[in-house]
Each structure stands twice: as C-alpha cells, then as structure tokens.
Structure 1
Amino acid sequence: MNFVLLGTLLATTLLIPGLAMVVGGIKHRSQRFNPTSAGVTATLLFVSVAAVFAPSIFSQSYAMYKCDHCRMYNSSDHSEGMECNSCRSDVLGVPAKNSMYKEHVMPLVYCSCVLLPIAYVIGLIYSLMTHRALVHDAFTTEVGEVGHGKAQWNRVKSALILLVSVVLMSLCADVVTYNIEPLLGGGISVNFIGVTLLALVPDIPEIVIGIQFALQNNISLSIEVGSCIAVQVCMLQIPVIVFVDLIYVGHNSSALVLTYCAMVAMYFFAPNSPGIKC
C-alpha cells in the first residue's frame, strides 16, 4: 500500500503534468495556465504535507532510541562513555510500555486525518463558490476563452456513467493486483510493481484526459487534473486508509502509512544528511 500511494503521487504530480506539457507543446506553440488555480492547489498540497509531517516529526523527536554495536571508550578528559555504530528511533518502544505511541502519536494521527478532509472541503468552497470569479473567471476573461457550452448530458446520466466508469476501473485494478504473481516469480521487486504497475493502472483515465485537454490547448485543466488527484489522495484517500485500518486491521500499522508519506515528502523538501553519529 505504501508504494502504491507513492506511485500515485508521483504519477499525478510529475507524469501527468509532464506528458500534458510535452504533448501540448508539440501541437501548440504557446500554452497558458491559470496561476491562481494552481496556487490554490499548491496551498492544499502544502497543508496536506504539513498534516502528514506532524505525526512523524513528533514521534521522531520524542521517541526512544535504540543503539547497536556499542562499546565503551575513554575520552581525552578521562571520562567514560558509549560509542555506537548505529542508532534508530523506536516509536513503539517497549511493547508493554508504549504509552507514548497510544497516548500521543495515534491521537495526533487521527486528528490530522480529521482535519485533512475538512481542509479539502474548505478548498472546494473557496475555489468553486465563494471566490470562483477570482480563481477561474478572471483567467478565462484574460485569455479570451469561451465558457462551457450547453450540457449534453443531464446530472443523472453523468452520475451513472461516472459511477460505472469508477467501478470498471476499480475492477481493472483488482484484476491487475491478483495477476502479478508471474512478475513476482520473475524476480521483479514487489515495491517496483507497486510504484509502477499498481499505481499507474488506476490513473490511466487521468493520464488520457490530461493529454486530451493538452491537445485542445487547455494546459491549465491538464495540470489541474493531476494536481487535484494528488490533493485527493493526500486529503481523502490517506485518512480513509487510516480509519479503515483502525477498524478492520488494528492500530499498529496506521502510523506507518503517514510516516512513509512523510518520508516521501521529506525526500523532496529536505536535504540529505551526510551521516548521523551518536
């Protein structure tokens, strides 16, 4: 699950916008996108990164440390101490005394999972209702684009087609999941399959739609297709996974989902440490 989420985030934030820019640039000499709408999406991504960061940073800052291969040494001032080759933080601690994990880390995880969907709803209200003229209409007027034409489908027909499409794509993803044994038997890493195959198959509709909008010289909507999916993964899918995990699996692996996503975010936003000495 961790690597599937990672692959989805990489596909929606890098692959879809990149393909849209390349394909659109081949057909159209100049392309313009809506910076205000992109700014709203970037703000939601920043909020989601902050919410995902919080449990990991808290647990890593106040967790117990376990050190291996330790030996005594004497310093120049004749004081004794311990020198260890590797140290790591232990969020759970001693199984019988993991009060920090139960009383502090997990409530912070659940609080983040509650706040993320609320932030997503607030972002939708801001961009689609209260500040629609500022986010979308001003850009449409500036570039001279025409508005939406007459609706060809009613809401019921559109909802049914969308629902059937979602079910069919979910079945495709399920079929792929249950037919990867030959690949695993060929020596391909399950992590690589999760990042690529299992993550890209459900994103095929978004990839196709993004390329189609780019061919129509609507690069703004192509970029929003990918970035909005990334926002939905961070603000809706991750909280759902955590709460489903709490109900059906148990609470021990819930922190791992958010911790791994925080590690993914740290990979892009934090510098690499040359080494740790303890």
Structure 2
Amino acid sequence: MRPLLKTIRSTPLLWLLVFVPILFLTEHLRAASGTLLFVLSVLAIIPLAGLLSTATESVAERTGDTIGGLLNATLGNLTELVIAFAALSAGEYMLVKASIAGAIVTNILFMLGASFLLGGLKHHTQNFNAASARLQAGLLFLATTALLVPTAVAHGVAADAPVLQDLSLALALLMIAIYALGLYFSLVTHREFFGSATHEEEAQAEAHEQWSLPLALGTLAGVTVLVALVSEIFVASVQEAALSFGMNSAFVGFVVVALVGAAAEMASAFSGARKNRLDLSVGIALGSATQIALFVAPVLVIVSHFVGPAPMSLVLWPGAVLMILFATLTAALISNSGRSAWFIGVLTLGVYFTFAVALYLLPPR
C-alpha cells in the first residue's frame, strides 16, 4: 500500500480523488440536479483514470506492452458496457448505438492521434510494431463490414423487421468468434510478430518505483469497480446535462459518453506515449476499438434479447458507418510504416474533430 499512497501524494491529478466520495454522498442525498451530478462524475472519473493508468503500466512492465494494452482496453471497456447496459434497459437505443460508434471512432482517432501528438512533442520520432497495428486495422475493417451489411439491408425493410434482428444476432456471434480467434493468433500461435518496438534502454531510462504485481492487480480491480459505479451516476445524469448544454442524443453518445467512458484508457495511452512506449499506446487505442466493435457491440445485441423493451439490431445511421469506415482507413494509413511524429497526431485529430463538429451541427434524423 505504501507505493500507492506515495503515488497519490506526489501526483496532483490524483488529489481529485476527493470528488469520488463527494459524488456518492451527493447522489445519496438526492439534493443535486442532474447537471451537477454530471460535472461531479466527470471530475471523479478523471483521477480514477489516472490511477488505473499507473496500475496498468506496472502490470505492463511485467507482462509486456501487448498484454498490458489488452488488459487496459478490457478493463477500460467495462465503463462502456456499464453505460450501454443502463441505456439499453431504458430503451435508449440511439444513445447505445451512438456510444458504440463513438467509442470506436474516439479510440481510433482521438486517443491514437493525441498519443502521437503528445509523444511526438517530447520525442522527435517514435517507433511501434506495425504488424500489431495492421492486425487491429484488419479486424476493424471486418467489424465495419459487419456493421455495413445490416445498415444497407435496413433501407429495404421495416426498421423492426425480424430479418434484421436475426441477421444482427448471426453477425454478432460471428464477430465474437473472430475476435477470439484474433486473440489466439496474436497471443499464442504468432506472438513473436507482436512484440514491443520500444528499445530496452529507453524503457529502462523511464524506470520508476515499481508496484508489486498483487498491488497493481488489486488497484486495477478496485478502481474498475469505482469507475463502474461512477459511470452509473453519469448515465443517469447525462440526459439532463445534455438538455442544459443544448446537445442532441447522438452527439452525447458519440462524443461525450465515448470520451468519458475511455478516460481510463486515455490516461494510460497518453502516459505511455510520453514515456516512448508507443506500442502500449497503440495497443490500447486500436485494441480497445477492436474490442468494442467485435465484442462489446455483439454482446449488447445478444443481451438486448433479455434486457430492454425489444431486441437491438446492428443497424446504425449511414453517417455512423461512414465515420467508422474512414476512421479504420485512417488507422490503416498511419500505422503502415510503424513510425510516427507529432504532425501525424494533428492530422488524425483533425479527422476526429471534423466528425464531431458535423454531428453537433447536423444530428441524424
């Protein structure tokens, strides 16, 4: 526990952890508006994300950046699952679908672009494993295709047609199976192709007081539970806050929910980039996007048959599919060389903000 307390005392960002009990107390007393709870939940998630980042880095130092990135993406996506389950049970399908599409695009463009920018401002050029990035881009292209098919079919049939639900369920099972095979390929049969490109001496130069593995894993578990609890309050307050700020539900799901839900992963990705561990950043960003597209979204489709007023399909509005497609193509282009610089991050962020502005000003019907 001593390294944990020392980290909290020496990191001003983690002092914001005081907002976690304040949020729970305010929500318990039910004396605050939804807008205030929304602000408090965001302030509570930020330091939890930083703590999760530190714990993940400690685990990654022992398991390698590939497994460390996968672990961070998996734990970070629990937030998206909690948010989506809450919205699913309330029948807010537009919010669920927008959050899925937004999480994919945000992880690919915003998280990856900001990692390239922050890392590039400190290091002239950075290297990462291009083979791993290309694999993730290929899986994302498969997910985009699976989302495109039901969206295209939906234009010729009724929105609640049974064929769309059957098609979505079949594609969901297929996507989960391929995601599992992709993990087996990269972690078992061909793991030698997906090692870190970071030089050992660079990693040693960033050495710091290490946490023990039990402390790191225990912190990961505890912080993940707190993030899930805070996320429930966030979901309950986000609609009222959106009305107060004049935002439509698609923008809330695509941008606001996606950014808050990915806060924990972003903290780890940005920290890794600044420490010249770009493989960790790329693994978190693209790995999280792939996991959402090929695992989280299909799981939500399956669960919707048991939770919510009606089964949910994989049909998105056409603009969302196009944004996911262009984000995937952007990831494939920028990851082909295995090198990055700060301006690559600027270009990637430019694509993201183009989508965000368009969705704010031109919400889907």
Task: Using structure 1 for the length normalisation, give the TM-score.
Answer: 0.72
Q: Quote the residue 1:52 is aligned against.
A: 147
Aligned length in residues: 227
Contact 2:105 2:324 survives alignment (8 Å): no
CA–CA distance in structure 1, aligned partners of residues 185 and 317 of structure 2: 26
Residue 182 of structure 1, CA deviation: 4.2
Q: Which residue is 2:281 aligned to?
A: 222
CA distance in 1, matches of 2:322, 2:241: 34
Displacement after TM superposition at 1:183 (Å): 4.1
Gap runs ≥5 in structure 1: 65-89, 93-100, 271-278
Equivalent residue, structure 1, for 2:322: 266
Q: Which of 98, 115, 125 is the matching residue for 1:30?
A: 125
Judging changes above 3 Å, is the alpha-carbon distance between structure 1 residues 193 and 250 closer, same or farther for their aligned structure 2 residues? closer
Please name the residue that 1:15 is paired with. 110
Q: Distance in 1 between matches of 2:321 and 2:113?
A: 19
Name the CA distance, whole Å, in 2 between partners of 1:39 and 1:144: 23
Which position in structure 2 is the counterpart of 1:5? 100
Equivalent residue, structure 1, for 2:8? none
Q: Is the 8 A contact 1:6 1:261 kept in 2?
A: no
Distance 1:6 1:59 in 2: 17
What does the per-residue CA deviation read over 1:197-238, in whole Å, with 9 as the maximum and x for residues that have no partner? 222112111111111101111122212211111111111111
Q: 1:210 touches 1:221 (CA, 8 Å); kept in 2?
A: yes
Give the partner amino acid of 1:21.
F
Superposition map of 1:91-102 within 5 A:
91-92=159-160, 101-102=161-162
> When the two structures are superposed, what TM-score results if normalisation uses the length of structure 2?
0.56
Equivalent pair of 2:123/2:276 in contact (CA under 8 Å):
yes
Q: Any residues of structure 2 matched to 1:163-242 within 5 Å, and which? A: 163-180=221-238, 181-242=240-301
Question: 1:59-74 to 2 correspondence within 5 Å?
Answer: 59-60=154-155, 63-64=156-157
Distance 1:13 1:269, change over 3 A: closer
Asked if the contact 1:52/1:261 (under 8 Å) is kept, the reply is no
Q: How much identity, in percent, do the aligned residues show?
A: 24
Change beyond 3 A, Cα 1:106–1:195 = closer
- In the alignment, structure 2 segments of 5+ residues that lack a partner are 1-95, 327-365
The Cα RMSD (Å) is 2.8
d(CA) in 2 for partners of 1:147, 1:23: 17
Counterpart in the other structure of 1:275: none
Of Structure 1 and Structure 2, the greater strand share is in 1
Counterpart amino acid of 2:131?
T
